[in-house]
Amino acid sequence: MNKKNLNILQVENLEMHFVQKNKRIKAINDVSFYVHKGETFGFVGESGCGKSATCKTILRLLPENGEVVRGSILYNGINLLEQSEKQMRKIRGKEIGMIFQEPMTALNPVLKIKEQMYEQFLGSDMTEQQKHDKAIEMLRLVGIPSPETRLNEYIHQYSGGMRQRAMIAVTLAAEPKLLLADEPTTALDVTIQDQIIRLIEALKEKLGMSMILITHDLGVVSEMCDRVAVMYAGSIVEMADTQTLFAYPRHPYTEGLMQSLPKDNGERGKLNPIQGMPPDLSRLEEGCSFFPRCKYASKVCGTTVPQLREIAQEHWVGCHHAEHMEHAIGLICLEDAQHREGRT
């Protein structure tokens, strides 16, 4: 794919299966994408679509039954799948950090915030004082009041929004170049979510990070992502910059997802949800995985798996009928075609 040197992460043809007693769950099927330096790349999709599994594969944090069948994950040119466990430990945290949905489970309940923060500085030649200053600076940065005292507290002593902030502070203390954020605001109330979104945005800018954001919420995508990939049944079905995707969805699933949402303008028309349910990943049939639920499906869809194709500059779609999806209704109306040309 293009602009190789500008990509901090480049994943090609990744395939990962969960192996169970008598079945293989094809959690990731031939996934390829890239993340530009400095951008926020979003993964959006419903539960079980493989967005979280992709992130865990990148960090090689898969459970024992997760098996990478093929593909490569190039981080700044290094294939992470070929690194030893020891080398991976150096990459995790310091190069690629991760924040989670639930800070209570992501942070250790019996260690003080301070101790967890200091762990991030392992291997650096900082003095105790420098570590202390840095830790305080991080807490201040994420907007935790009176950081000197809070540094010596445990995670359960923090309130909901503050826990999320503390986890972000601990992760970012190591100053990772790439941040993986797995549903970081899903468990939060909308006002707190708003605060955390702005906080992550600001920190990303300040530290010059790139970010992969996993979410099921198109609203969060719209607020945060530069580019976004829509995942369905372990595959990327569409990938484009956020505005293009929101204005010109070209995959029937993307369209269905958008049509499932009530509109911002309070329109009361009947919602047009996608019928049926996602397929069982251990029993994927031939052809397009969305075929059974797709209202535009034709014969070819039932026999051949569509490849992800670039139908316009940096707009990738995995659908046989992508070119004929002009009628698809997005969430926003851009004034025209010239906007598209303007982007190229």
**Interacting residues toward another protein by CB under 8 A:** 46-47, 159-162, 189-195, 197-199, 216-223, 225, 242-243, 246, 256-257, 259-264, 266, 268, 270-275, 277, 331-332
Which CB, 202 or 300, lies closer to another protein? 202
Which CB, 13 or 20, lies closer to another protein? 20
In the complex, minimum distance from the CB of residue 186 to another protein, in angstroms, rounded to a whole number = 11
Other CB atoms within a 10 A radius of the CB of residue 13 amount to 12
Largest CA distance in the chain: 68
Distance of CA 232 to the CA centre of its chain: 13
**Contact criterion met (CB below 8 Å) for 63 and 52:** no
In the complex, minimum distance from the CB of residue 29 to another protein, in angstroms, rounded to a whole number = 19
Which CB, 91 or 231, lies closer to another protein? 231
Q: CB within 8 A of 185, min separation 6: which ones?
A: 164, 192, 193, 196, 197, 215, 220
Which CB, 85 or 264, lies closer to another protein? 264
Angle between helical axes of 160-173 and 128-141 (0-180°, round to 10): 130
Token digits of residue 42: 């979003």
In the complex, minimum distance from the CB of residue 256 to another protein, in angstroms, rounded to a whole number = 6
In the complex, minimum distance from the CB of residue 96 to another protein, in angstroms, rounded to a whole number = 25
In the complex, minimum distance from the CB of residue 246 to another protein, in angstroms, rounded to a whole number = 6
3-state secondary structure of 262: coil
Which CB, 170 or 200, lies closer to another protein? 200
Dihedral (Cα; 47, 51, 53, 57), 10-degree rounding: 180
In the complex, minimum distance from the CB of residue 69 to another protein, in angstroms, rounded to a whole number = 26
Which CB, 96 or 328, lies closer to another protein? 328
Q: What angle do CA 328, 329, 334 make, to 5 degrees?
A: 115
Q: Is the dihedral of CA 259, 264, 270, 276 positive or negative?
A: positive
